[in-house]
Amino acid sequence: MISIKKLVICGVGLIGGSFALALRKAGVAKRIVGIGRSPESLAKAVQLGVIDEAASSWEDALDGADFVLLAAPVGQMDAIMQAMGPHLAPGTTVTDAGSTKRDVIEAMYRHLGADLAHVVPAHPIAGAELSGVEAAFATLYQGRKVVVTPLPENEPAAVLRVREAWEACGALIHEMPPHDHDRVFAAVSHLPHLLAFGLVHDLAGRANAEQLFDFAASGFRDFTRIAGSHPEMWRDICMANRQALLGELDQYLAELAYLRALLLSGDGTRLEQHFSDARRARNAWAEKLSSQTDPAFVAE
Amino acid sequence: MISIKKLVICGVGLIGGSFALALRKAGVAKRIVGIGRSPESLAKAVQLGVIDEAASSWEDALDGADFVLLAAPVGQMDAIMQAMGPHLAPGTTVTDAGSTKRDVIEAMYRHLGADLAHVVPAHPIAGAELSGVEAAFATLYQGRKVVVTPLPENEPAAVLRVREAWEACGALIHEMPPHDHDRVFAAVSHLPHLLAFGLVHDLAGRANAEQLFDFAASGFRDFTRIAGSHPEMWRDICMANRQALLGELDQYLAELAYLRALLLSGDGTRLEQHFSDARRARNAWAEKLSSQTDPAFVAE
């Protein structure tokens, strides 16, 4: 089983904090050090027992470290790697929890190029609307998927180490090329977020916004739940993955243009067929999912 | 308190069946007769004790009836009213549970014009993905909104009677002009359904659909929950309210065009502002809602 002498978490929020708690609980990590942009949040993490100490510099943090998780919003990854790069000892395993991979990998090539053999990109498909270290819990990754997107330069032992760390958190590991990862998540995650933010923004700007929200019910609540997500995090994700996201958005706009034409022409038969196909696919997915996962469903 | 000697429910599914169960439990309805297109479903309703008997003709059903609820999909309302019209005795209170109002009201004028004083359109904002009489339960309307959209011809006593019937089910009554009703629900209900059906249809048609669904998580699940709704019912609603829905769709397409432009130009600042405004509106709504309603949230 994997053993980590000194684990460094950069960005001790829900994602990084839960990783720390899970690895401590599993007996994998002996000493856990946090680093990040907010001293208050790090102090809180120490107080809550999520990390043992807060490092005030990358030099201190990386001294003797054998495993590093970068769990900051993807928009900060470039600056973080630039700062840590010069202090990284060869052989230290580095991974990340970024929601997009192409941009994070570009930053890895720019700043961690000296030892890419041990820098293994990954993305845990877990999370919640709640953020911050107070929301972290040891079982967040239990039964959840983690997508590992290895680099051609990666040493198999380093990939295995990252897999084992996530497995120790209870996660199910999938490997995928980074490009596929970004296209898949543009479709099933990033686009829905954009659409939900857009709908709420659209309605909130109306003269009768109050009346509209007064009569919005559970369908609207669920449809727009992800519009309660963190704006900065989702700005970063959308910007980082905007090429794939634009492709998905354009395909969806073509879908809406077709539905619009059906409405305009009053073609109820095709409209029902369309709804019926969608319902069948949706229900088949939901059934497969509920048979695969525990009741506390996979969040992202 | 309102008292009903003979209640007639046309369409004894989730909506009609729950109305029957609630009024029986409240001691309001003495005898409850069902009518509908499926004899099997009516037999089931008798077996479950939701209705006392099934009528095989409108003549039988309306004989001695003092309150009629039309709870069929809106696409069937015209044919239903055409069939019932000749057998309706003056003074019988008639209401409906249609999700759209303009089209239902047009059918009322066409077929029930002889006694519009007692024909009061309404829309209970309740429901679930589950449908059919097996899904009906007496407390479905507890704390839910019912929108009553009276006609100029309505006698105040008839409006009051419809209000009191729904109040006896535990519902909260709102009055609104029919046109406003259809615009509000196009925005907060019909459009989100169209968007969810569209997204699932779009993804289900891809060559890598299986992979996409494999990595879809809780955000996707909630966003697309309403794509599990009944295709025929939603075809009817979309067709009946297509003018208002097209207006909402076009406004949303303009919103997406703006978001697309922000992505294309890489304008992260405006994108974050947009997300942030949406999140604030969504959270304010969700807070207000949770302070108003019981934990078993308003469904539609």
Give the CATH number, domain containing residue B13: 3.40.50.720
Number of domains composing chain A = 2
pLDDT band at B273 (very low <50, low <70, confident <90, very high): very high
**Does the residue A70 lie in any domain?**
yes
**Structural domain ending residue among the three candidates A149, A176, A203:** A176
- The answer to whether residues A6 and A66 touch, using CB atoms and an 8 Å cutoff, is yes
Q: Which residues of A touch B147 (CB under 8 A)?
A: 215
**Whole-number Å distance between alpha carbons of A254 and A247:** 11
Q: List C-alpha distances in Å: B90 to B63, B79, B80, B151.
A: 12, 20, 18, 17
Q: Average pLDDT, stretch A244-260?
A: 97
The verdict on B112 and B222 lying in the same domain is no
**Whole-number Å distance between alpha carbons of B219 and A81:** 29
The verdict on B52 and B137 lying in the same domain is yes
CA distance B133 to chain A (A): 20
The verdict on B125 and B16 lying in the same domain is yes
The verdict on A77 and A14 lying in the same domain is yes
Q: Give residue-wise pLDDT tens across range A110-146.
A: 999 999 999 999 999 987 657 899 999 999 999 999 9
B139 Cβ contact list (under 8 Å, min separation 6): B22, B170
Burial of B152 (0-12, 13-18, 19+ CB in 10 A): exposed
Nearest Cα residue to A131 out of A36, A239, A220:
A36
Domain, as residue range, for B254: 180-265
The verdict on B36 and B149 lying in the same domain is yes
Q: Give residue-wise pLDDT tens across range B151-195.
A: 999 999 999 999 999 999 999 999 999 999 999 999 999 999 999
Q: B221 and A196 in contact by Cβ < 8 A?
A: no
Q: Which residues of A touch B223 (CB under 8 A)?
A: 192, 195-196, 222-223, 225-226
- The answer to whether residues A58 and A90 touch, using CB atoms and an 8 Å cutoff, is no
Residue B299 pLDDT greater than 70, yes or no? no
Q: A282 and B224 in contact by Cβ < 8 A?
A: yes
**Does the residue A165 lie in any domain?**
yes
Q: What is the pLDDT of residue A214?
A: 93
Three-state secondary structure string covering B118-166? HEECEEECCCCCCCCHHHCCCCCCCCCEEEECCCCCCCHHHHHHHHHHH
The verdict on B68 and B209 lying in the same domain is no
The verdict on B103 and B193 lying in the same domain is no
**Does the residue A299 lie in any domain?**
no
Element (H, E) at B61: helix B58-62
**Structural domain ending residue among the three candidates A160, A176, A192:** A176
Q: What is the pLDDT of residue A291?
A: 77
CA distance B140 to chain A (A): 13
Q: Tell which of B100, B179, B188, B252 to mutate to test the A interface (max A CBs under 10 Å).
A: B188
**Structural domain ending residue among the three candidates A176, A191, A217:** A176
Q: A218 and B300 in contact by Cβ < 8 A?
A: yes
Element (H, E) at A20: helix A14-25
**Whole-number Å distance between alpha carbons of B51 and B4:** 14
Q: What is the pLDDT of residue B69?
A: 98
Q: B227 and A282 in contact by Cβ < 8 A?
A: yes
**Whole-number Å distance between alpha carbons of A87 and A178:** 26
Q: Give residue-wise pLDDT tens across range B219-260.
A: 999 999 999 998 998 999 999 999 999 999 999 999 999 999
The verdict on B172 and B190 lying in the same domain is no
- Buried-state track B108-139, b at ≥16 Cβ within 10 A, e below 16: beebbeebbbbbbbbbbbbbebebebebbebe
Task: Count the Cβ atoms, other than its own, within 10 Å of residue A270.
Answer: 14
Residue A220 pLDDT greater than 50, yes or no? yes
Q: Residue for token digits 């109050």?
A: A210
Residue A299 pLDDT greater than 60, yes or no? no
**Does the residue B172 lie in any domain?**
yes
CA distance A238 to chain B (A): 8
A229 vs A250: which has the higher pLDDT? A250
Q: What is the pLDDT of residue A117?
A: 98
Residue B146 pLDDT greater than 60, yes or no? yes
**Does the residue A298 lie in any domain?**
no
Q: Average pLDDT, stretch B8-24?
A: 97
**Does the residue B135 lie in any domain?**
yes
Q: What is the pLDDT of residue A272?
A: 97
Burial of B295 (0-12, 13-18, 19+ CB in 10 A): exposed
Q: Which residues of A touch B229 (CB under 8 A)?
A: 219, 275, 279
The verdict on A189 and A155 lying in the same domain is no
Q: What is the pLDDT of residue A126?
A: 86
The verdict on B162 and B33 lying in the same domain is yes
Q: Which residues of B touch A223 (CB under 8 A)?
A: 192, 195-196, 222-223, 225-226
Q: A218 and B192 in contact by Cβ < 8 A?
A: no
Q: Average pLDDT, stretch A41-51?
A: 97
> Which CATH number characterizes residue A281's domain?
1.10.3660.10
Q: Give residue-wise pLDDT tens across range B93-139.
A: 999 999 999 999 999 999 999 999 999 999 999 876 578 999 999 99
The verdict on A167 and A195 lying in the same domain is no
Q: Give residue-wise pLDDT tens across range A149-204.
A: 999 999 999 999 999 999 999 999 999 999 999 999 999 999 999 999 999 999 99
Length of chain A: 300
**Whole-number Å distance between alpha carbons of A181 and A124:** 12
Q: Which residues of B touch A245 (CB under 8 A)?
A: 263
Q: Average pLDDT, stretch A246-264?
A: 98
Q: Which of A206, A263, A278 sits opposite B200 (nearest CB)?
A: A278
**Does the residue B231 lie in any domain?**
yes
**Does the residue A297 lie in any domain?**
no
Q: Which residues of B touch A249 (CB under 8 A)?
A: 256, 259-260, 263
ipTM associated with this complex: 0.87
Q: What chain B residue is nearest to A127 in terms of C-alpha separation? A: B218
First to last CA, chain B: 27
Q: Give residue-wise pLDDT tens across range B64-76.
A: 999 999 999 899 9
The tokens describing A141, both together, are 């990754």
The verdict on B165 and B188 lying in the same domain is no
